[in-house]
Amino acid sequence: MPLYQGVHGDEVVEPDGVGEEVCPVDLERQGQIGEAGSILHDDPRLVGRIGGLELHNEISAQQASRKKWSHVDYLTSLIAGEAASRWDRSIQRRIILARFPVIKSLEQFRWSWPKTINRPAIQNLFHLKFISNKENVIFIGGVGLGKSHLATAIGYQVCLKGHSVLFTTAIDVINAMSVAQAAGNLKNELKKYLRPELLVLDELGFLPIDKTGADLLFQVISYRYERGSIIVTSNRVFKHWPEIFNNDSTLTSALLDCLLHHSETILIEGNSFRMKDRIEALN
């Protein structure tokens, strides 16, 4: 599967020459579309004006000549090609910055394996309405049931639609913020988790979290409340979440309040897919 990805908050820098008076080029006088492309490519003021178009593209010029395109049609084709190329590069950057451990898709998911799973609800999530509504999604289920697979697949789809994503584990967030706090750089580290339109917090509950870690994770979740979407995967149902957060019922209640106010919870039940072969052998 091709790897794509993108940057959040890229600055757009105007190329040199923008705002300068550009002398018109008499394309008709040149007589050939290929020559028009050459003239535009050789004029630095025009190149500055239109960016990195490959106006000397021989294939485009030959196609234009063969189909007897007008100069306007030829330039329109070049600009459309450049726009598509820039979009592809932006998607590539977004996926790289999302830091997915692997790329997953919904088509790869084995629907037949879990004993309980709400397939229509999951498929509906891929319309990504929850992103525009700044809502959250929580996947709850045992190990090996595809929670991380689905979270990754949704995140990948979000990238393909031009949105920013960051995939990480809950423990990695806590560790990174603990280091930043000790270095007096907590504010900047927090911004990293507030900036993406979608933050995926994987494996919440797999390892215990002390009070300091719970406080740091709460900051991320509370600051993102109604500002950006979160996907959480956890192996524990909500009533056991205080055990995750050092048995701090007050903090857990506040965290769940922020997380669940605008959210959808998907429960997945069954045996671990990673144990599939062993289970089938025993049967």
Residue 85 is assigned to a structural domain of this protein = yes
Domain count, the chain: 2
Structure tokens at 111: 């629907």
Same domain, 169 and 126: yes
Rg (CA), the chain: 25
Residue with tokens 């957060």: 245
Q: Rounded to 5 degrees, what are φ and ψ at 120?
A: -60, -40
Total Cβ atoms within 10 A of residue 69: 17
Q: Which residue has the higher pLDDT, 93 or 62?
A: 93
Residue 177 is assigned to a structural domain of this protein = yes
Single out the residue in 38, 73, 97 at which a domain terminates: 97
pLDDT in tens, 225-236: 999 999 999 999
pLDDT in tens, 234-274: 999 999 999 999 999 999 999 999 999 999 999 999 998 76
pTM above 0.85, yes or no: no
Same domain, 114 and 247: yes
Q: How far is CA 258 from CA 86, 231, 236, in A?
A: 37, 13, 18
Domain that holds residue 228: 106-282
Q: What is the mean pLDDT of the chain?
A: 81
Single out the residue in 75, 97, 119 at which a domain terminates: 97
- Alpha-carbon dihedral angle through residues 77, 82, 84, 87, given to the nearest 10 degrees: -160
Same domain, 116 and 93: no
Work out the pLDDT band at 98, boundaries 50, 70, 90. Answer: very high
Same domain, 67 and 161: no
Same domain, 197 and 138: yes
Residue 87 is assigned to a structural domain of this protein = yes
Residue 12 is assigned to a structural domain of this protein = no
The residue among 8, 71, 53, 59 whose CA lies nearest residue 197 is 8
Residue 17 is assigned to a structural domain of this protein = no
Residue 7 is assigned to a structural domain of this protein = no
Work out the pLDDT band at 283, boundaries 50, 70, 90. Answer: low
Q: Which residue has the higher pLDDT, 87 or 31?
A: 87
Whether pLDDT at 24 is above 70: no
